[in-house]
Structure 1
Amino acid sequence: MNVAGRPGRARLRDRLAASDPGLLRLTAALRTVGAIALTLAVLASLGFGVTRLVAGAMTAMVATFAIRERQRGAQAVTLALGLPVALASVSLGAVLSERTVVGDALFVVLIFCAVYGRRFGDRGTGLGLIGFQVYFVSLFVGAAADRLPGLWAAMTVAFASSALVRFAVVPVTPAGLLQRLRQAFRARLAQLVSAQLTLLDAGPDEMDKALEEVREGNARLHETALMIQTRLEEGTPDESAARLVQRRIADAEIAAERLGLLLLSARSAERADTLTLHLPGAPAPEVGRLPGPEEATDRLRRDLLALRTLVLRTGVPGTGLARVRNRLLAYRDGENLPPASPAVQDVFRALGETARAVMGLRIALDGPQDESDDSPATARSREELDAEDAAIDAGEEAEPDATRTGLRRPTTRAAVQVAVGSTLAIIGGELLSTDRWYWAVLTCWIVFINTASTGEILVKGYRRLLGTVFGVAAGIALAAVVGRSTLAAFLLVLVLIFLMFYTAPLSYTLMSFFVTAMLGLLYTLLHTYSWEVLVLRLEETALGAACGVAAAALVLPVRTDRRTDELLVTVLERLGEVAEAAVGQLSGGPADDLLDKARELDQALGDLRGATQPLTHPVTPLRARRTNARYVVALLETCAYHARSLAATAELLPTHPSIAADPRLRGAAGRTVRNIGTITARVAGEDVSAPVETGPSIASLLGDDGSARYGRITGRVLRHLERLDEAVVGLARPLDVPVSTPDR
């Protein structure tokens, strides 16, 4: 059985699912293009002119991308409220078009309200976007009071077209989206196994590249797991089913990452550090051929291919697939292991654990399976999975609301900053051009979206300017190609809008490129295109970005280091909560929502990773700081991996026969928990003089001293605890926390 024998359509579907989890980018692009195309078709059939066609197309685009709620009912309400907001906004823009001072003042007030509306959630954010963008549309098309009835009609058609495409032509239900995300998880899991196959066969000169593919595969799989976890409540019928899927996704992710780590260790002269899988650019350890007979290597290669087949082949009956599954699961109990070194045999055991996780994932996602061909090892694994499923508790606790108030609230601060930046952009834009000044305001507005620090705004402004530079050149070329052909121009506009929304989550520079190229075509349609106009667009963009950065740096600034320190404290707090709860449960304490705590840790780490982008950007002149930031994030990812593994293992205590609580573990691992608290307090600026402690390994602290054993902790749990302890101590150096070494 080989994946290469699958139909080409299935392989293409898997590649698409892996490259675009949940088809979120494709859906956004199709919805936007569909809404615009339908709007243009209706308006053209009614005999509307080019100006109203452009206004309708831009409004349809805004009405589509501004809606952010996940539930269809909430989307419909926001879309319905968005129409009167849009009509009021375009009316104000048209009426005040001849009153420069009043119009500019109102525009600044509108911008403040649009950004401040973010505090009211997705609906407030969406309505703010619609109000601002439609006012911009009125400026772009030169709306006047006598043209308002036609513009109202065009915008009404645009909102109706957006609703029709969203709910009828390209519908997305929470359950359907979750199903596609599950397919993406399987596809990315198979890609990770393929990367591990490459790692197995890579020569010394190819090892760094193979290791980078494994790193990327781990990161992409983790990204998909987080996307699934954030949509479980909306996409599953009940809370118990959501927790079951969450457990199986976490099991599969942990097992697959551990398989890659053990494979790297088996090929290395020394034990591979988990940090190697999380630190970008870290050199691969010195490797040679897999120790042991060649037959073991051939068998491992065959079994990795078989594992990939198990991941991808869903809903396919047959004894061949069952035999493959039975063979892999037998490795869990040490059956049929090849004659090889202990390190290589550990890889085979990890293959068995990963096959078990894949079987659990299949049961959770696809329902009960055919058990007629089960081997004894498979039957035992299935019984363990059933016992774990029965033990799942769906209880949750509400978290207290710790929202800041006044100017400390992020939305209020951002609203003040963007209002000041927009005022500067209006003044400077008017000096550059009395007709196109609004481009500077648009850029200033956009660089504040989804940013929270001066560094993030600077990076976003740089990327927008870079995309605009190349977009100007593309706009000149495309305008020359289409000439005066309205149909060709509109078709190219649709293509560029599709590419703009499809690439937006991947690269802000690419999105800016497609936006600028599209604007060149829109200027052609409005018969206002010229080389000077596109150059002015570039100048206004640079001015707007500069005004945004200046406002962020001078008005209620949030420095990048302050922002990252706040997020770092949050990550460390979440890490401490997961570690303490997992150790407590492994020591015999009460059950806790460990996987929920682990998910909160992953989300906090994702926020920190995004906030450090200004520090790790390739063009940053602070090379040492960039290296330090990458190292800290990699260490935290290593800590999170071991904490997730401990949490998943602790939840197996009631059902797994090989894991038992050991009360001694709380004392042995208490040092790690205290160290996390010490580092957290130091980063938070608290007056703490206690250093990070080091000492004997946790395994030695649990050594048999002749007294009665209270329980048995698996070697895997000990390894995770020791690696977590080492990684936490490793955090102390880059964070300038003193480390004390006890006297020998």
Structure 2
Amino acid sequence: MKTAGQSVRARLRSGVAASDPGLLRLAAGLRTVGAIALTLAVLGLLGAGVRHLVAGAMAAMVATFAIREKQRAQQAVTLALGLPVALASVSLGALMSSRVVAGDLFFVALIFCAVYGRRFGDRGTALGLIGFQVYFLSLFVGAAVSGLPELYGVLGIAFASSALVRFVLVPETPAGLLERLREAFRARLAQLVSAQLDLLDAGPDELEKVLEDVRDGTARLHETALMIQGRLEEGTADEATARLVQRRVADAEIAAERLGLLLLTARSAERADTLTMHLPGAPVPAGRRLSARDEATAILRRDLQGLRLLVLRPVSQETGTGLSHVRNRLLGYRDEENVPAAPAAVQDAFRGIGEAARAVLGLRIALDGAQDESDDTPATTRSREELDAEDVAIDAGEDEDREEEPTGLRRPTTRAAVQVAVGSSLAIVGGEFLSSQRWYWAVLACWIVFINTASTGEILVKGYRRLVGTVFGVVAGIVLAGLVGQHTWTAFALMLVCVFAMFYTAPLSYTLMSFFVTAALGLLYTLMHTYSLSVLLLRVQETALGAACGVVAAAFVLPVRTDRRTNELLVTVLERLAEVTEAAVDQLSGGPPVDLLDQARDLDQALADLRAATQPLTHPITPLRARRDTARYVVALLETCAYHARSLAATAELLPTHPSIAADPRLRRAGRRIAHNIGAIAAYVADDQAAVEIETGRSIASLLEPDLPGTPRYGRVTDRVLRHLQRLDETVAGLARPLGVPVAAPKR
């Protein structure tokens, strides 16, 4: 019973870790709700009125969510600086409340400065956000000069409560956060293996749904790997440790994605295309369900279950020799004599399991430390020796290259500040016509649609989502206001629930976040005895007006068209792809070692930025269906290219430690066409008048034909390298059609 209970708790813990990597959403919600609850408790004991309670709750929320820095010391400094900024902002709000024109002009200037402050990093962003939100707070509660001393005390209590919750009650250290992200990576890797196991058994009618689960699992695993990458510098003791964890996470990610492709091929009548694993709706190869009675299939299913167990079970929970036996068996598939008799594609799947087991072993060593080696077989010992050799070869060098940043109005923060200032001015004028008391809601909506957006299309989509969430939130606010009546503390308790839900759902759905915000506001209006149906309907009107003003400002003031934005990011992705590919091919050809993993992660980050920027083009409501399909296809092709580039980079880094993988100078000739085609596509995207063409011709393998009779065809380069190069060459050439790049006639 004790063991069963531990198993249930472990599964529950893994499920939570996978759904919320690093528990970031849970911690943000608890931290914000804790700060608000503590502030309300202190103010309640002091006998504060409802308006001061509302002001304290809003100030505590702002002081908590505005801080985004990773190091605790930096967070403390920013929080300390935020208090005087908040005091100055509420003072100016009270002073300007009776001066309509001057107050409006000052509000616009404050908005410009708050957005412009983003150029100074996380601290500038936080202080600007605090300044804007506290000024908004002063308008919301009707701050007056005579009441400033009490408001100063409320703000002081709110900031102190936020600090106490952040640093004492719900603490977060970079090392602890990185540890939770590692657990999330384990959990998501295990979920991906489970989806791959379903892929093995799925019938023809179930294949598309199971494939979608595999795609989602792969994307979620990649997302967690990027999150770990962003926290390594702060969360590890030294750079060598950071690079070790980075390498092991990258190996596990690549091995897991390759295993899914091999399993799809094993159950198909033809080799599966990598694009199928990245593009929903892509043609699925003619499939066949593997016979459940077939011995090789039964072993494959058993070993996938063993791989999942190996992923989930940390070293501290190992008892007996059962898990060691599973590990040794899986690693044994790296030796040809241990691969079961089966069709070639199924044998490849066993080899893929062996490579995945090796990656998991490296991950376990990097995350859990040294392990008992007494039960190792020769295959396991060889894998450990390879991993140890790789650890020694890891170079802790840093890349000091920095890109030149734009200046003036070309700088994104300056441009956004001008756009928000213009949009807010329009929102103030329009908001005054709707309501002379609550015009500031339009300004808030305009401000919010500009946060974390960089193009007109992104602003339009965000404004639409905010409006939809607000409309449904108004309905919820009406229901909640009717339920709580004048019960003050019941209303505050429900507001805390809405605030937690707002922060927990924010990274998942902006519409849901807006829904909970509006529902919480309905409760605040009830507390302040200003609730009415007309007030909540006015909230919808002001939100629609603010969003519209933001879209107008983005479209006509220093606009960044969605096409221009996506083209710029597409060129960046292609440049990063060219860098990784050329460096990996050069190293595989005998060139000097370089920092391939960092280059691969730069490619991943550039691709993530492009994927986010194309959301307006791929949104379900877009009327341009052909354009939507093209954008999805291009992103899927680039994801396929990135997978093969990552795999080449990982293989190239094995050269110093693996005798089975050696340099072959002829690879430079094979990689030359790929580099040329990537450069040609990037030049054409940057300028569609550029006189460029991509080259096509013989396969990559044929380009490695020996120059002298009797010379081994491929030297000592593995077939896997050639397959990745071939797929990369085909996929890069495939980008030409959707992007309209001219294709040169094949040379004879």
Mean Cα displacement is larger for which, 581-590 or 275-284? 275-284
Give, in whole Å, the separation in 1 of the partners of 2:416 and 2:59: 25
Contact 1:291–1:344 (CA under 8 A) maintained in structure 2: no
- The within-5 A match list for 1:259-278 is 259-278=259-278
The aligned residue for residue 671 of structure 1 is: 673
TM-score by length of 2: 0.98
What do the CA deviations read for 1:372-414 (whole angstroms, capped 9, x no partner)?
0000100010100000111000101212241111111100000
Letter matched to residue 12 of structure 1: L
Letter matched to residue 695 of structure 2: E
Which one of the candidate residues 493, 496, 513 is aligned to 1:494?
Answer: 496
- The within-5 A match list for 1:216-227 is 216-227=216-227
Contact 1:293–1:340 (CA under 8 A) maintained in structure 2: no
Q: Does 1:738 align with 2:742?
A: yes
Contact 2:201–2:290 (CA under 8 A) maintained in structure 1: no
- The within-5 A match list for 1:260-659 is 260-290=260-290, 294-315=294-315, 316-317=317-318, 318-659=320-661
Give, in whole Å, the separation in 1 of the partners of 2:717 and 2:294: 34
Task: Give 3-state SS (helix, strand or coil) of 1:402's partner.
Answer: coil
Letter matched to residue 78 of structure 1: T
Q: Does 1:717 align with 2:721?
A: yes
Contact 2:35–2:165 (CA under 8 A) maintained in structure 1: yes
Give the deviation of 1:230 after TM superposition: 1.0
Contact 1:199–1:264 (CA under 8 A) maintained in structure 2: yes
The aligned residue for residue 85 of structure 1 is: 85
Q: Does 1:23 align with 2:12?
A: no
Task: Give 3-state SS (helix, strand or coil) of 1:68's partner.
Answer: coil
Task: Give 3-state SS (helix, strand or coil) of 1:740's partner.
Answer: coil
The aligned residue for residue 43 of structure 2 is: 43
The aligned residue for residue 127 of structure 2 is: 127
Give the deviation of 1:706 after TM superposition: 2.5
What do the CA deviations read for 1:713-740 (whole angstroms, capped 9, x no partner)?
1011110000000000000111110112
Give, in whole Å, the separation in 2 of the partners of 1:660 and 1:138: 68
Mean Cα displacement is larger for which, 336-345 or 298-307? 336-345
The aligned residue for residue 706 of structure 1 is: 709
Task: Give 3-state SS (helix, strand or coil) of 2:739's partner.
Answer: coil
Contact 1:463–1:508 (CA under 8 A) maintained in structure 2: yes
Give, in whole Å, the separation in 2 of the partners of 1:395 and 1:205: 51
The aligned residue for residue 103 of structure 1 is: 103
Give the deviation of 1:648 after TM superposition: 0.4
What do the CA deviations read for 1:45-104 (whole angstroms, capped 9, x no partner)?
011111000000000000000001100011000000000000000111111111111111
Letter matched to residue 209 of structure 1: K
Give, in whole Å, the separation in 1 of the partners of 2:485 and 2:168: 36
Contact 1:692–1:729 (CA under 8 A) maintained in structure 2: yes
Give, in whole Å, the separation in 2 of the partners of 1:217 and 1:471: 32
TM-score by length of 1: 0.98
Contact 1:417–1:555 (CA under 8 A) maintained in structure 2: yes
Letter matched to residue 612 of structure 2: G
The aligned residue for residue 684 of structure 1 is: 686
Aligned length: 742
Letter matched to residue 149 of structure 2: P
Give, in whole Å, the separation in 1 of the partners of 2:298 and 2:373: 29
Task: Give 3-state SS (helix, strand or coil) of 1:657's partner.
Answer: coil
Letter matched to residue 208 of structure 2: D
What do the CA deviations read for 1:654-695 (whole angstroms, capped 9, x no partner)?
001210000011011210111111111111117532310011
Task: Give 3-state SS (helix, strand or coil) of 1:733's partner.
Answer: helix
Give, in whole Å, the separation in 1 of the partners of 2:244 and 2:474: 51
Give the deviation of 1:6 after TM superposition: 5.6
Give, in whole Å, the separation in 2 of the partners of 1:530 and 1:600: 51
Give, in whole Å, the separation in 1 of the partners of 2:146 and 2:507: 40
> What's the % identity of the aligned pairs?
76
What do the CA deviations read for 1:141-173 (whole angstroms, capped 9, x no partner)?
011111111111001000000000000011110
Give, in whole Å, the separation in 1 of the partners of 2:399 and 2:723: 31
The aligned residue for residue 212 of structure 1 is: 212
Letter matched to residue 175 of structure 2: A
Give, in whole Å, the separation in 1 of the partners of 2:115 and 2:670: 50
Contact 2:202–2:289 (CA under 8 A) maintained in structure 1: no
Contact 1:254–1:641 (CA under 8 A) maintained in structure 2: yes
Give the deviation of 1:540 after TM superposition: 0.2
What do the CA deviations read for 1:256-283 (whole angstroms, capped 9, x no partner)?
0000000001111211100000012324
Contact 1:278–1:638 (CA under 8 A) maintained in structure 2: yes
What do the CA deviations read for 1:343-369 (whole angstroms, capped 9, x no partner)?
000000000000000000000111111
Give the deviation of 1:698 after TM superposition: 1.0
Contact 2:334–2:355 (CA under 8 A) maintained in structure 1: yes
Letter matched to residue 573 of structure 2: V
Q: 1:585 to 1:485 in 2, by over 3 A?
A: same
What do the CA deviations read for 1:620-640 (whole angstroms, capped 9, x no partner)?
000000000000000000000
Give, in whole Å, the separation in 2 of the partners of 1:47 and 1:281: 61
The aligned residue for residue 728 of structure 1 is: 732
Give the deviation of 1:743 after TM superposition: 4.4
Give the deviation of 1:5 after TM superposition: 8.7
Give, in whole Å, the separation in 2 of the partners of 1:731 and 1:61: 46
Give the deviation of 1:523 after TM superposition: 0.2
Give, in whole Å, the separation in 2 of the partners of 1:210 and 1:350: 19
Letter matched to residue 737 of structure 2: R
Letter matched to residue 482 of structure 2: A
Give the deviation of 1:289 after TM superposition: 2.1
Give, in whole Å, the separation in 2 of the partners of 1:545 and 1:283: 40
Give, in whole Å, the separation in 2 of the partners of 1:413 and 1:399: 26
Give, in whole Å, the separation in 1 of the partners of 2:184 and 2:411: 37
Letter matched to residue 644 of structure 2: H
Contact 2:423–2:550 (CA under 8 A) maintained in structure 1: yes
Give, in whole Å, the separation in 2 of the partners of 1:625 and 1:42: 55
Runs of 4+ in 1 over 6 A off after TM superposition: none
Q: Does 1:173 align with 2:173?
A: yes
What do the CA deviations read for 1:406-460 (whole angstroms, capped 9, x no partner)?
1111000000000000000000000000001000000000000000000000000
Contact 1:198–1:210 (CA under 8 A) maintained in structure 2: yes
The aligned residue for residue 239 of structure 1 is: 239
Contact 1:39–1:161 (CA under 8 A) maintained in structure 2: yes
Give, in whole Å, the separation in 1 of the partners of 2:648 and 2:544: 49
Give, in whole Å, the separation in 2 of the partners of 1:530 and 1:292: 64
Q: 1:5 to 1:695 in 2, by over 3 A?
A: farther
Q: Does 1:257 align with 2:257?
A: yes
What do the CA deviations read for 1:179-202 (whole angstroms, capped 9, x no partner)?
000000000000000000110111
Task: Give 3-state SS (helix, strand or coil) of 2:338's partner.
Answer: coil
- The within-5 A match list for 1:127-206 is 127-206=127-206
Letter matched to residue 264 of structure 1: L
- The runs of 5 or more residues in structure 2 that have no matched partner are none
Letter matched to residue 372 of structure 2: D
What do the CA deviations read for 1:189-236 (whole angstroms, capped 9, x no partner)?
000000001101111000000000000000000000000011111111
Give the deviation of 1:339 after TM superposition: 1.8
Contact 1:291–1:341 (CA under 8 A) maintained in structure 2: no
Contact 1:448–1:457 (CA under 8 A) maintained in structure 2: yes
